Amino acid sequence: MLRGVTSAGLGSIESEERMIELAAAYGFQAVDLDAAALIARHGVDGARSLLQQHGIVLGAIGLPVEWRTTEEAFRQGLEKLATYAAAAAALGGTSCCTYILPSTDLKPAPFMAQAARRLRTCAQILGAYGIRLGLEFVGPHHLRTQWKHPFIWTLEETLDLIAVIGEPNVGLLFDAYHWYTNELNVADIEKLRPEQIVHVHINDAPDVPVSEAADNQRLYPGEGVIDLAGFLQGLQKIGYTGVVAQEILTEAPSTESPEVLMQRSKAGFDRVFAAAGMA
């Protein structure tokens, strides 16, 4: 498994270029970033060199298509997807992720039909560039009632969504916070096949009742109560060999310097990987 970072948890880090530098300096191997933007700034060769020089691989890109609202918004976003996918592929990327909010103001059944269809079109385009689409189920309980109607939030429901999308390149973005707030255990990870997991996000949760763990109160790995050793061991056991990137959503970005936060991140990874008996 490769250790990765996302911008969430690095405070006001000034650029993705700085993320790449710091990630390398602190022993990370992957960075989730906007590949198209990096190529826009450096050209394909320049972006590749930047990553290579730092020994960093592209983690995941985000899905730049708004599939959650109107057909018009979806069609507009779709116009850029192929270019984004080409950019990620040019930098050796193979993963594109999007989150599924657990509730919605829209009627849930019709929205599910529209969402699955739009995500299938996205998956088809991504697949042309060798990119896999990872869908993230979102577990924090408060979000289940933030909008009018329940949508989906469990692992099983997300596997059902993947099944109805029906494309060979769709799987999970498996995030520790959502595994934890869904009250899943290591056995639930062990039932998965490694190819069902496109990308992994790691983080920790505060010592509050699980139903109160809010989505934007995440901690660095090892600073909270999630059984991250079990989480990592489960992933290793099933043979997942992809990226494990930290995503520390907080109410406001930290005011600490990116260097301090990167050091804290590294310490967190060292802690939990060691606890899991892994390098």
Q: Report d(CA 101, CA 119) in Å as an integer.
A: 14
259 counts as binding a copy of itself under rule CB under 8 A: no
> Which amino acid is present at 117?
R
For the bound state, the minimum distance from the C-beta of residue 104 to a copy of itself, rounded and expressed in Å, comes to: 8
Q: Collapse the DSSP code of 183 into the 3-class scheme (helix H, G, I; strand E, B; otherwise coil) and give the result.
A: coil
Max Cα distance, the chain (Å):
49
Run of H or E residues at 200: strand 197-202
**Smaller CB separation from a copy of itself, 125 or 248:** 125
113 counts as binding a copy of itself under rule CB under 8 A: yes
117 counts as binding a copy of itself under rule CB under 8 A: yes
Q: Please report, for residues 86, 88, 241, the alpha-carbon distance to residue 50 in angstroms, rounded to integers and kept in the order given.
A: 18, 14, 24
DSSP letter, residue 34: -
82 counts as binding a copy of itself under rule CB under 8 A: yes
Helices (H), 103-185: 108-128, 141-144, 155-165, 176-181
List the interface residues with a copy of itself, window 215-244 (CB under 8 A): 239, 241
Contacting range for a copy of itself; rule: CB under 8 A; set: 40-48, 79-87, 229-237, 266-274: 79-87
260 counts as binding a copy of itself under rule CB under 8 A: no
For the bound state, the minimum distance from the C-beta of residue 261 to a copy of itself, rounded and expressed in Å, comes to: 34
Contacting range for a copy of itself; rule: CB under 8 A; set: 11-19, 126-134, 140-148, 244-252: 126-134
129 counts as binding a copy of itself under rule CB under 8 A: yes
150 counts as binding a copy of itself under rule CB under 8 A: yes
128 counts as binding a copy of itself under rule CB under 8 A: yes
63 CA to centre of own chain: 11
Query: In 25-126, at which residue ranges do the beta strands (DSSP E only) sit?
Result: 30-31, 57-58, 60-62, 95-100, 103-104
Q: Give the interface with a copy of itself as residue ranges (CB under 8 A).
A: 74-76, 78-83, 86, 89, 107-114, 116-118, 120-121, 124-125, 127-129, 149-152, 156-157, 160-161, 163-164, 166-168, 170, 193-195, 239, 241
